[in-house]
């Protein structure tokens, strides 16, 4: 059981790094670059980005959540759901699902709109992307805090 738990942990962390890294890259590099492009280039870039981002990051985010759930179960959390660790594990699942909802439900859909938007609709959608990106980063901060506290038994 040790090796299964270790493998699940490793895959969970690796997927989390990819998921968080893609969010950082998008929020701090790609979105600011997008603002400086000409309108036609903005639409083309957003359409191309939407085709690649959602199909890659969405499944990885879902897999990270699933691996976290399975990792907790193999580690015996179901026998101690009322403990600080069990409650933190449950909270991490809830925040992870909310995080996936922001990324997959809000950001991905808004990026798809950018591929065809212009004028005021473009400005509004771009503003939403920036806002949703900040929400996503805040949820990642909460998630990492929960992961760290679980590592110390809470």
CB 54 within 8 A of CB 100: no
Interatomic CA distance for residues 92 and 88, integer angstroms: 6
Stretch 36-59: mean pLDDT: 85
Reported as half-sphere exposure (CB side, CA atoms, 13 A), residue 51 has a value of 7
pLDDT value at 1 more than 90 = no
Contacts of 77 (CB under 8 A, 6+ apart): 85, 86, 89
| Contacts of 49-54 spanning 24+ positions with Cβ under 8 A | 49/111, 50/108, 50/111, 50/112, 50/114, 50/115, 53/22, 53/26, 53/108, 53/111, 54/104, 54/108, 54/111, 54/112
125-152 per-position pLDDT tens digit: 889 999 999 999 999 999 999 999 998 8
Global pTM reads 0.87
Question: How do residues 71-121 score in pLDDT, each as one tens digit?
Answer: 999 989 999 999 999 999 999 999 999 999 998 888 888 888 877 777 888
- Which region among 30-39, 61-70, 75-84, 127-136 has the lowest average model confidence (pLDDT)? 30-39
């Amino acid at each position: 059981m040790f090796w299964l738990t270790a493998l699940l942990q490793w895959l969970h962390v690796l997927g989390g790094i990819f998921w968080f890294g893609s969010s950082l890259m998008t929020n701090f590099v790609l979105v600011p670059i997008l603002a400086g492009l000409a309108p036609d280039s903005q639409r083309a870039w957003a359409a191309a980005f939407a085709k690649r981002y959602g199909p890659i990051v969405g499944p990885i985010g879902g897999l990270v959540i699933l691996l976290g759930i399975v990792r907790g179960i193999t580690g015996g959390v179901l026998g101690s759901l009322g403990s600080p660790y069990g409650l933190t594990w449950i909270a991490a699942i809830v925040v992870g699902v909310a995080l996936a909802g922001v990324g997959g439900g809000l950001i991905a859909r808004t990026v798809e709109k950018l591929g065809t938007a212009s004028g005021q609709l473009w400005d509004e959608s771009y503003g939403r992307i920036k806002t949703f990106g900040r929400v996503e980063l805040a949820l990642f901060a909460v998630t990492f805090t929960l992961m760290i506290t679980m590592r110390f038994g809470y």
